[in-house]
Structure 1
Amino acid sequence: MGNALKSGVQRFNAENRAHKLLDKSSMRSAPRHPTTAKAIQELQTKNPEVLHEQQRKDDRLLGLLQNIRVDSTDPAQEKPQDTDQPNPSALRGTSRRSLPLNRGLIKPQTTLFEVPDEIPDGRLTVPMAIEMLAKHKRNPKEWPVDRLATDYKLDLKDAENILEYFNSFKVIAIQEGPSAHKPSITGGR
Structure 2
Amino acid sequence: NPGEGFEFSSKIKGASIPTEFIPSVEKGIVEALASGIKAGYPMVDVKVELIDGSSHDVDSSEMAFKIAGSMAIQEGAKRAKPVLLEPVMDVEVVTPEDFLGDVIGDLSRRRGKVEGQEQRGNALVVNAIVPLSEMFGYVGDLRSATQGRASYTMQFARYEEVPTSIAEEIVESTAGATAGARA
State the TM-score, normalized to the length of structure 2.
0.21
- Of structures 1 and 2, the larger Rg is shown by 1
The structure with the greater share of residues assigned to strand is 2
